[in-house]
A and B are shown apart, each in its own frame.
Chain A
């Protein structure tokens, strides 16, 4: 009941309701886990295709939000394992889509400070995949340690250890700017 509690009280949510409730959240999640906008969009489409297939089956998960998150995390994991060759092949296509960074900083970025903003993102991207996944699910998505462990196939001790290391690195990046 974590993700779609409002809609699932009386009847199961429709596909459209699930898309509306989780589409943006999953897009952001995949964007965080993959760092590549195009690739993350593809993964989100893949996830909702799987949702469509799963939706028609008689046995459906109780918590569609958690199910979608788990499928998205696994899909991102598979994408990363697909390796550098796929990314290398797409390299030429992607240059056209690049947003030039001469743009103005948003008010949020100005409030934080541009240096902090850059440092946090850089530190986040430098995290090992597992630490990034654990941090996103535990800290940003607010999952419990046990739920993260089940979703990623880890022991709870490993989840805590990954989270500790991720916190340490990100905090160092954030506090460096404020000092």
Chain B
């Protein structure tokens, strides 16, 4: 009996596999042949079920419904979590840097002007903002330059330009 075929070997033989020795044993052994008949009967039951009966349907949609609900819930949770983490770790909004930059530019301009044109050392006055900001001011326009920018850099008429620039930096008279 110890040489009888296992269930696995019987199933393999039925599927067309197995060796010649196993097949020979199956043909010779009544016990194994009986077990093989049992296997065939079970497969006939399976075939009968699959070919002659309706498939149980109701569980499939219920499962699908729950899967869809779970998927939707997980998606919503992940979206909320992502939004929350984005809001939580986002760095504070930096204030606009434009005014600061403008102020720094003005300081640089003052330094350059003082270095270039000051006769009496550093002065306590400052270049009127309007001149730098708007070259169309009357003071600049009086220089008669083709390009207003020249009023603060190089001039179209150098003497006139220099004079105009020096007038710009005249120390203002203070009362008292």
Contacts and interface: CB of A to CB of B under 8 A. Distances in A.
A106 B54 contact: yes
Given A139-B43, A167-B11, A171-B39, A145 B49 contact: no
Contacts of B61: 94-95, 98
B43 A171 contact: yes
A85 interface: no
Interface stretch (B12-20, B85-93, B134-142): B12-20
A175 interface: yes
Contacts of A28: 51
B21 interface: no
Given A120-B49, A159-B16, A171-B42, 15 more contacts: A35-B55, A94-B61, A99-B58, A101-B56, A108-B53, A112-B53, A116-B49, A117-B53, A121-B55, A124-B50, A160-B12, A167-B39, A168-B8, A168-B11, A178-B42
Contacts of B58: 98-101
Interface residues of B, number: 30
Contacts of B50: 32, 120-121, 124, 136, 140
A149 B176 CA distance: 113
Contacts of B47: 139-140
Contacts of A68: none
B46 interface: yes
Interface string B109-150: 000000000000000000000000000000000000000000
Interface string B1-42: 000000010011011110000000000000000000001001
Nearest to A119: B49
A9 B45 CA distance: 35
Interface residues of A, number: 41
A167 B14 contact: yes
Contacts of B45: 112, 116, 120, 174
A99 B47 CA distance: 23
A155 interface: no
Interface of A: 28, 31-32, 35, 88, 91, 94-95, 98-101, 106, 108-109, 112, 116-118, 120-121, 124-125, 136, 139-140, 145, 156, 159-161, 163-164, 167-168, 170-171, 173-175, 178
Contacts of B43: 139, 167, 170-171, 174
B64 interface: yes
Contacts of A168: 8, 11
Contact of B42 (A121, A136, A156, A175): A175
Contacts of B17: 160-161, 164
B49 to A, nearest CB: 4
Contacts of A159: 16
Contacts of A156: 16
A117 B52 CA distance: 11
Contacts of A88: 68
A121 to B, nearest CB: 5
Contacts of B52: 108
User: For B15, B45, B57, which residue has the most chain A Cβ atoms within 10 angstroms?
Assistant: B15
Contacts of A99: 57-58
Contact of A91 (B8, B11, B64): B64
Contacts of A101: 56-59
